[in-house]
Amino acid sequence: MIFRGQIETWLWKDGHRQVIVAYLAAIGLFVLGSIFIRGFFGWGHILAIASTAGFVGIVGIGQTFTLITGGIDLSVAYMLNFGALLITGITLGSNHQLLLGAVVVAVVAALTGLVNGVGITILKIPPLIMTLSMNSILEGAALLYSNGTPQGASPPLLTTLATGAGPLGIPWMVWFWAVVAVLVLLLFRRTVFGRWTYASGSAPRASWLSGIPVNRVVIFVYVVSAIAAALAGLLLAGYSGQAYFGMGDSYQLASVAVAVIGGTSILGGKGNYLGTIAGALILTTLTSLLEVLNVGASMESMLYGVVIIAMMLVNRERQSS
């Protein structure tokens, strides 16, 4: 009975309904695809979608929480790309240097996030300009690092992680994403820091007056975002077996899209990573529908735009009513 009460409470909580709707939409889309497209339905395809959704889902960690603080991170595209270039360049396709490579990538990402965060909080540079500029700086840094030609290849371990099948026949990628997701949910739902993140985005002045170190919270969120993007870069390098320029471009907008679809408010203070996961599943299902219809990258790009605008319009109606 207590358990049932808790579920009811959870369902009642503001924002959770939106998350549930997002999951229903993901299922609905899949069913729709299964009805109209031959061969769409199947356990294998479900796993494939979940696995592919993991990449944008992990980039979406950063976007969800920077949006919750009232900002945005537009440097994820080249953070991801730089991370991928670094790991293939350092490891040169062998597992031996993987740990070193991962540490280097983590340090570079943390520093990038730190610079973003300090620029935004202390130097008061608007998040948009700070992170968009950082994206260009990272692009330059990535080009300089690789001298325009990506070197090396992904270590086999990463390739296995990104493409291999794990226990119960479920891809390692899905297991990995699930673990990351649980950690993220715990961090933002169960810790003081997580509570402070929501508070800082919801009402910055009230947060400061409540004794929250708002600047530090925001800086840390940008560090998390950069690390998440770089992590997605490692996985994507593993998936492709190598790194190439432009591999992060489509994740810029896709990461915003999955957060917004999952109910994260672009005005800050509202959002939930559970929703972003649903958003990633929806976007990936839509993309795979388009792939079957063979419409190509152009439609994907248009789709991202339309989906974001549509979600903002829907949420706007909800707010005004």
Partner 1 sequence: MRMSPWLKNEYLIYGILLVLLVTYVILNHSLLSVFQIQSLITSSAPYFLVGLGESIVIIAGGIDLSIGYMVSLTCVVVATTAATVGVPLALLVGAAAGLINGLLITHFRLSALVTTLATGSFFFGIALHILPTPGGSVAPWISTIAENNLGPIPLVAFVLGLILVLTWIVYYRTPTGRYLFAVGDNLEGARQSGIDEKRIRVGSYVAAGLLAALAGIFLAGQTSSGDPNIGTPFTLNAIVIAVLGGTSLAGGVGSIGGVVAASFVLTVISDIIFLTNASSYLQYIVSGGILVLVLGLSQGVRIVRSISRHSEGRQVRQG
Partner 2 sequence: MNERLLTAEHIEKRFGATVALQDASLEVTSGQVHALLGENGAGKSTMMKILAGYYKPDRGMLTIDDRHLADLSHWSTRAATRAGVVAVYQELSLSSHLTVAENLFLGVETTTLKLAQGLISPRDRAKRARELLLSCDLSDIEPNAIVGELSLATQQMVEVVKALTRHPRVLLLDEATSSLPEDYVQKLFRIVQRLKEAGVAILFVSHRLDEIDHFADQATIFRDGINVGTMDAPFDRQTLIDLMAGRAVQHRATSIAPTVNYDSAPLISAHKLILKESHDPITIDIWGGEVVGVAGLEGHGQQEFLLSLFGAYHPVGGTIRVLGSVVRHPEPRRMISRGVVLVPQNRKTEALHLNLSIQENVALMGLPGMARAGWIDSRKEREHVTELVDRLAVRRTRLDDPASSLSGGNQQKLVFAKVLLTKPRVLLLVDPMRGVDVATKTALFDIIRDLAKAGTAIVLYSSDTSELVGVATRVLVFYEYHVVTTLVGSHITNETLVDAAFHRKEKAIRAHVSVAQE
Identify the bridge partners of residue 171 per DSSP, sorted by sequence position.
165
Task: Decide: residue 298, CB within 10 A, 0-12 exposed, 13-18 middle, 19+ buried.
Answer: exposed
- Segment near partner 1 (CB under 8 A); pick from 162-170, 275-283, 286-294, 296-304: 296-304
300 binds, among partner 2, partner 1, none (CB under 5 to 8 A by kind): partner 1
- 269 lines the binding site for partner 2 (CB under 8 A): yes
State the Cα–Cα distance between residues 138 and 132, nearest whole angstrom: 10
195 binds, among partner 1, partner 2, none (CB under 5 to 8 A by kind): partner 2
98 binds, among partner 1, partner 2, none (CB under 5 to 8 A by kind): none
305 binds, among partner 2, partner 1, none (CB under 5 to 8 A by kind): partner 1
- Segment near partner 1 (CB under 8 A); pick from 88-96, 155-163, 224-232, 305-313: 305-313
State the Cα–Cα distance between residues 50 and 152, nearest whole angstrom: 28
- Minimum CB separation of residue 110 from partner 1 in Å reads 18
- Segment near partner 1 (CB under 8 A); pick from 188-196, 229-237, 269-277, 309-317: 309-317
32 binds, among partner 1, partner 2, none (CB under 5 to 8 A by kind): none
141 binds, among partner 2, partner 1, none (CB under 5 to 8 A by kind): partner 1
255 in Cβ contact with 239 (< 8 Å): no
Question: What would the DSSP string read from start to end of 214-278?
Answer: HHHHHHHHHHHHHHHHHHHHHHHHHHHSS--TTTTHHHHHHHHHHHHHTT--TTSS---HHHHHH
Contacts of 90 (CB under 8 A, 6+ apart): 97, 100, 101, 104, 152
Closest CB to partner 1 among residues 19, 142: 142
- 298 lines the binding site for partner 1 (CB under 8 A): yes
- CA 178 distance to own-chain centroid: 13
113 in Cβ contact with 225 (< 8 Å): yes
Residue 184-223 contact track with partner 2, rule CB under 8 A, x = bound = ------xxxx-xx-xx--xx-xxxxxxxxx----------
Give the interface with partner 2 as residue ranges (CB under 8 A).
Answer: 9, 12-14, 190-193, 195-196, 198-199, 202-203, 205-213, 269-270
